[in-house]
Amino acid sequence: MEGTNVSATIQQLPSYLETFLQLQKQSPVHRQESWLRGVREDAFTSFCQLGFPTVHDEDWRFTSVAPIAQTTFHLSEIPEDETDTVTEDDIAPYRLESLAAQLVFVNGRYVSRLSCLPAGHKGLQVSSLAEAMLKEREKIEPHLTRYTDSSKEAFTALNTAFFEDGAFVFIPRGLALQKPIYLLYLNTGSETPRIANPRNLIMAGENSQGTILEDYVSLGVGESFTNVVTEVVAAEQAVLHHYRIERESTEVFHVSTLSIQQGRSTTVNSHSVLTGGALVRNNIQPVLAGEGGNCLINGLFIGNGRQHLDNYMKVEHRSAHCASHQFYNGILDGESRGVFHGRILVCKGAQQTDSKQTNRNLLLSDTAQMDSKPQLEIFADDVKCTHSATIGQIDEEALFYLRSRGLDEAAAEGLLLFAFASECLERMNPGLIRNYLAKIIMRALPQAKQSEAAL
Amino acid sequence: MSMLEIRNLHARIENREILKGLNLTVNAGEVHSIMGPNGSGKSTLAQVMARRENYVVTEGEILLDGKDLLAMKPEDAACEGVFMAFQYPIEIAGISNAYFLRAALNAVRKYHGKKEMDAMDFMPFYKQKMKLLEVDESFMTRSVNEGFSGGEKKRNEILQMALLEPKLAILDETDSGLDIDAMRIVANGVNAMRSPDRAIIVITHYQRLLDYIVPDFVHVLVDGRIVKSGGKELALTLEEQGYVGVETEASATAVAV
């Protein structure tokens, strides 16, 4: 098994190498950011050495990325035709009122024509990362690529070596931003498999507050690979709500890594909703570096057909008095497969750690499958760590109760599924984004469509 | 024609026969009480009428206004006007009472070709019924029965009944676990529902509830059959003498047959 996977990786390497060299020569971002060149070269070397992970790798035990390893992906050409063809009408469903800003990316590239930049907040920056790297090197250099580990993670290494653009968000010290920032990533699809490597850097200054939504959407069909890395840095006392929706088409491979660096007394809430994609891996990796940090990792995944949705999280408690709570609910139908792999690492000295992990799953068919794996590594002696996982079917008693009041079976089932999904919604702050997600979730649920109007 | 005709009903669960030839006729406007010892089949009767699928009817029929109730799914029975107040109401996290009740009410309205009720029309209607059952308005946004006390759950059942306005209401041991105050509130709610075109069946083990909801008829169910019927005074006799008397009577009848 391992042999075939490794050779599959090596088979595609010339193509990755060619692309890498081409980027160095032709991509304006790669040419101008000389300060990043060494980092990119190291990352590419790591990627070549690591190869794609296999199921023999403990962190990838339940997810084979062979389909990604075996496919030759192309970067979209520059200038990119598709960015011109996406119209305002195409993205009308993704426009929200009362946003602080909305950045739109097409196949990984920023499209200013479709984006709305922030106004009225002194010091708030929301822009294309490529642009910011040119103009604000001194702000970005100390952080970009510092919170990810390209020497160990192949997909991160690939992103670091290849990325051309993404979002840069900087919330200045003391600013409590009320309105959300919406980052929309459109995948237009194409006839040949294509790769996009968006890279985002989100910086929340001391005592600042903000809400960010990353939304991954398909506008067309075709096999493609979205390999995104987001780095979040929260300075002391910052409060950040991060939302991520993966709802690309079921031909898309999607690997995303959210690396969060939390300072003293920070709160970062990460909410993930996965409904799309063929093979999805969602890595959430907070590092609680300062005392008194709080981290919520909340998620919902809804699979159908042959979807494979892998939720991986690695929480590193490096300081004392930090809390991390993970809650993931999964709903799996058809032959879909879900994975919950929650790793909690409590470092020496991280006393008074409070860590909790809950994974609840509903299987709607006999052929759906769920693997749930908690992993606790504790090197401190005064900590509280709990975990629990359940896998079950729809509760027949509850179903009968609803039907006995007049709801037909499909409506009753839909309502119960929505209730189960709502556990995830209820952990989000009430407001615009939660309502938006509720509708997206409702549409993704089997048999729940009839109640949408009631929301 | 009577509203409800139960003829020679035999029902089993997991190969155990519970109802063994039960007959009962209920007319619109009447309140019937079915009393009996534990395990006599009271709840089974309620569950069969609410069309719970794990109870299998092997013989007999139930007609609701002439329609074959046993051919109906639970939701169809509900839409035809059957309402069972659960002995143990189910907790459903994540669905608010208001949302659930409006969905249920609209399902029933849709079945009868009526226009669905929007939130604007529903809320005043709901609040009016909440007042009747003396429940706090916070009920609306709370999840269905989640974290409710026993009394709150039972009041919520009667509240649902008041909103859905069934033709035939079946109260399955609604008094179990209720203190006197809660019982009075529940009974007030039920009494407010008494009407010439509605029938109510009160299933109970004890007579006390019948002090508040005074029945027109009392039936004693023993070992899957109604062995004795009478007026409200029968409940008092049972309270004094217990079920021992009727049980002996019943077995004597069985021997005689």
pLDDT tens column, B27-46:
999 999 999 998 999 999 99
Tell me how far apart the alpha carbons of residues B177 and B206 are, in angstroms, rounded to a whole number.
Answer: 12
**In sequence order, what DSSP letters do the residues of A61-88 get, joined into one string?**
TT---HHHHTSPPEEPPSS-HHHHH--H
For residue A218, name the pLDDT band (cuts at 50, 70, 90): very high
Asked if residue B246 has pLDDT above 60, the reply is yes
Question: In this structure, are residues B191 and B169 in contact, taking their beta carbons and an 8 Å threshold?
Answer: no
Provide the domain limits for residue B121. Answer: 4-256
Which pLDDT value is given to residue A80? 55
**Residue A207, phi then psi, degrees to nearest 5:** 60, 25
Which pLDDT value is given to residue A260? 98
Asked if residue B229 has pLDDT above 80, the reply is yes
Q: Fill in the amino acid letter for A5.
A: N
Q: Give the strand pairing for A101-106 and A167-171.
A: unpaired
Asked if residue B114 has pLDDT above 60, the reply is yes
Question: In this structure, are residues B229 and B218 in contact, taking their beta carbons and an 8 Å threshold?
Answer: yes
Kindly state the average pLDDT of the residues A122-144: 93
Q: Output the CA–CA distances (angstroms, integers) from residue A448 to A221, A394, B211, in the order listed.
A: 25, 14, 45
In this complex, is the C-beta atom of B52 within 8 Å of any C-beta atom belonging to chain A? yes
Question: In this structure, are residues B200 and B210 in contact, taking their beta carbons and an 8 Å threshold?
Answer: no
Q: For the purposes of burial, counting CB atoms within 10 Å of the CB of A49, is it exposed (0-12), middle (13-18) or buried (19 or more)?
A: exposed
Contact A411 B52 (CB under 8 A): no
Asked if residue A132 has pLDDT above 60, the reply is yes
Asked if residue A117 has pLDDT above 50, the reply is yes
pLDDT tens column, A396-413:
999 999 999 999 999 999
How many structural domains does chain B have? 1
- ipTM exceeding cut-off 0.90 for this assembly: yes
Contact A401 B73 (CB under 8 A): no
Contact B94 A422 (CB under 8 A): yes
pLDDT tens column, A250-260:
999 999 999 99
Kindly state the average pLDDT of the residues A226-247: 98
CB within 8 Å of chain A, chain B residues 85-114: 86, 89-90, 92-95, 99-105, 107-108, 111
Which pLDDT value is given to residue A1? 36
CATH classification of the domain holding B245: 3.40.50.300
Query: Which helix (DSSP H) or strand (DSSP E) does residue B140 occupy?
Result: none
Residues of A with CB under 8 A from a CB of B: 395, 397-398, 400-409, 411-412, 415-416, 418-423, 426, 451, 454
pLDDT tens column, B47-88:
999 999 999 999 999 999 999 999 999 999 999 999 999 999
For residue B127, name the pLDDT band (cuts at 50, 70, 90): very high
Asked if residue A77 has pLDDT above 70, the reply is no
Which pLDDT value is given to residue A9? 53
Compare all CA atoms of chain B with the CA of A421 and give the residue at the minimum distance.
B94
Share of chain A above pLDDT 90, in %: 82
Q: Which of B138, B190, B252, B192 is nearest to B33 (CA)?
A: B190
Q: Tokens at residue B83, please?
A: 């309402």
pLDDT tens column, A5-64:
444 455 678 888 988 988 888 888 888 888 899 999 999 999 999 999 999 999 999 999
pLDDT tens column, A363-379:
999 999 999 999 999 99
DSSP letter at A377?
Answer: E
Task: Find chain B residues with C-beta within 8 A of A426's C-beta.
Answer: 94
Give CA A443 to chain center in angstroms: 20
Listed in sequence order, the residues at least 6 apart from A110 whose beta carbon sits closer than 8 Å to its beta carbon are A103, A104, A128, A130, A131, A165, A166, A167
Q: Give the strand pairing for A209-218 and A181-187.
A: parallel
CB count within 10 Å of CB A58 equals 11
* Nearest chain A CA: its distance from B111 CA (Å): 9
**In sequence order, what DSSP letters do the residues of A170-193 get, joined into one string?**
EEPTT-B--S-EEEEEEE---SS-
Lowest mean pLDDT among A162-166, A220-224, B142-146, B237-241: B237-241
Asked if residue B238 has pLDDT above 90, the reply is no
Tell me how far apart the alpha carbons of residues B14 and B23 are, in angstroms, rounded to a whole number.
Answer: 22
Alpha helices in chain B (DSSP H): 42-49, 74-79, 97-111, 119-132, 150-164, 180-193, 209-212, 233-241, 244-256
CB within 8 Å of chain A, chain B residues 132-191: 143, 160, 164
Which pLDDT value is given to residue B241? 85
Asked if residue B116 has pLDDT above 80, the reply is yes
Task: Find chain A residues with C-beta within 8 A of B78's C-beta.
Answer: 403-406
Single pTM value for the model: 0.86
Asked if residue B208 has pLDDT above 80, the reply is yes
Which pLDDT value is given to residue B257? 41
* Nearest chain B CA: its distance from A356 CA (Å): 20
Kindly state the average pLDDT of the residues A101-111: 94
Contact B100 A416 (CB under 8 A): no
Helix A396-403 vs helix A409-425: crossing angle, to nearest 10? 120
Which pLDDT value is given to residue A239? 98
Nearest to B74 among A403, A419, A454 (CB): A403
pLDDT tens column, A335-347:
999 999 999 999 9
Tell me how far apart the alpha carbons of residues A120 and A100 are, in angstroms, rounded to a whole number.
Answer: 9
Tell me how far apart the alpha carbons of residues A104 and A166 are, in angstroms, rounded to a whole number.
Answer: 10
Q: Fill in the amino acid letter for A257.
A: T
Lowest mean pLDDT among A151-155, B153-157, B177-181: B177-181
